[in-house]
């Protein structure tokens, strides 16, 4: 795996900040220690002097964003560190040159920038408009940790410059390009299909269109795997989704959907109301929804219209008392 610090000669060389000291005579019994000398730096200059943001600075240079982000601003940069870029490229099987030569590089970087000075004390959960007029989503976990799009965590906050703030991230954030339905369909076409039964159930219940919207929608879908549906069929004594009454199937599926964009960090212990009107119970300690386990490797799948979390059992709605 290529390291992000080896950028085929594209990495920038940085000058170290000059340190200032006062020489004191050994004959002076009471030397006076001067106050530290600091220089006012904008957020780009801070990044340039840091050993953690060499890749980010190189990318900003390639995208011609050094000068704009050196202006008055104010700006807040959610800045992936070098390790974040390394992991991101590895996960997506990309090389450093693939990133730097991407025609959409400027947009990728602008997606990490907010046109305001926002200290961590002012960060709140919810949607945030970025410099390229897109939206990312902030979550605050139960311990107060700040997350972006359910994937990247702020690991060093409030690096303050003359024109704004830097909040260091441990991963690169991306704009979602597919809605929930498209994500499920794409998973069906993978080498190991995963949500074929879920798509079949949504199709039979005529709910595919509900999850095919855009950013104006906000859904959280707890998505049972194919194995989870097979276990349901066994419990019901049926061979497949076609043998389940449409009314019952609609109620089951609606019980898996929350009318809000809730990443795992947004979840809190206790009851959450679903589209069916009935509550599911969140157990954060055991990472469970009712008796179903959330699958850690398929959490926070971000869509244009919400977020999908895979679960290992189909949630069974409570029996009506009517």
Q: Give me the pLDDT at residue 191, please.
A: 75
What CATH code is carried by the domain that includes residue 284? 2.30.180.10
End-to-end CA distance of the chain: 60
- The reply to whether 49 and 85 lie within a common domain is yes
Range of the domain at 140: 43-169
Q: Give me the pLDDT at residue 319, please.
A: 73
- The reply to whether 207 and 129 lie within a common domain is no
Confirm whether 220 is domain-assigned: yes
- Residue from 158, 162, 219, 224 nearest 187 by CA: 224
- The reply to whether 123 and 233 lie within a common domain is no
Q: What is the mean pLDDT of each run of 10 residues along the chain (322 residues)?
A: 34 28 36 46 96 96 96 96 97 93 96 96 95 96 96 96 97 95 88 88 94 90 96 95 95 96 94 95 92 94 96 89 48
The domain boundary, picked from 116, 140, 169, lies at: 169
- The reply to whether 147 and 220 lie within a common domain is no
Q: Give me the pLDDT at residue 39, please.
A: 56
The domain boundary, picked from 118, 138, 169, lies at: 169
For the chain, the domain total comes to: 2
- The reply to whether 61 and 144 lie within a common domain is yes
Confirm whether 321 is domain-assigned: no
The domain boundary, picked from 139, 169, 199, lies at: 169
Cα 201 from Cα 224, distance rounded (Å)? 11
Q: Residue 183 — φ and ψ, nearest 5°?
A: -65, -45
The H-assigned helical ranges of 50-179 are 54-62, 66-69, 82-91, 96-100, 105-110
Q: Give me the pLDDT at residue 27, please.
A: 40
- The reply to whether 240 and 299 lie within a common domain is yes
Mean of the per-residue pLDDT values of the chain: 87
Cα 288 from Cα 279, distance rounded (Å)? 14
Confirm whether 10 is domain-assigned: no
Q: pTM above the 0.95 mark?
A: no
């Amino acid at each position: 795996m290529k390291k992000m610090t080896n950028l085929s000669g594209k990495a920038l060389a940085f000058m170290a900040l000059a340190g200032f000291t006062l020489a004191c005579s050994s004959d002076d019994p009471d030397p006076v220690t001067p106050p530290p000398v600091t220089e006012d730096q904008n957020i780009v200059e801070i990044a340039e002097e840091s050993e953690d943001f060499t890749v980010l600075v190189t990318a900003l240079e390639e995208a011609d964003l050094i000068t704009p982000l050196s202006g008055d601003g104010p700006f807040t940069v959610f800045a992936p560190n070098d390790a974040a870029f390394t992991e991101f490229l590895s996960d997506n099987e990309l090389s450093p040159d693939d990133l730097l030569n991407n025609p959409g590089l400027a947009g990728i970087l602008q997606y990490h920038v907010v046109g305001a000075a926002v200290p961590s004390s002012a960060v709140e959960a919810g949607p945030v408009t970025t410099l390229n007029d897109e939206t990312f989503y902030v979550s605050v976990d139960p311990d107060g940790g700040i997350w972006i799009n359910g994937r990247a965590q702020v690991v060093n906050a409030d690096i303050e410059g003359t024109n704004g703030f830097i909040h260091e991230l441990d991963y690169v954030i991306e704009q979602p390009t597919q809605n929930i339905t498209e994500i499920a369909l794409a998973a069906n076409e993978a080498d190991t299909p995963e949500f074929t039964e879920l798509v079949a159930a949504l199709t039979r219940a005529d709910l595919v269109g509900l999850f095919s919207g855009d950013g104006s929608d906000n859904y959280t879908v707890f998505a049972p795997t194919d194995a989870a549906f097979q276990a349901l069929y066994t419990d019901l004594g049926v061979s497949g989704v076609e043998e389940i009454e449409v009314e019952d199937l609609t109620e089951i599926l609606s019980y898996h959907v929350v009318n809000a964009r809730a990443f795992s960090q947004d979840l809190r212990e206790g009851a959450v109301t679903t589209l069916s009107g009935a509550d599911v119970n969140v157990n954060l300690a055991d990472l469970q929804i009712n008796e179903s386990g959330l699958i850690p490797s398929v959490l926070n799948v971000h869509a244009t219209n919400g977020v999908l979390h895979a679960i290992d059992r189909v949630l069974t709605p409570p029996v009506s008392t009517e």
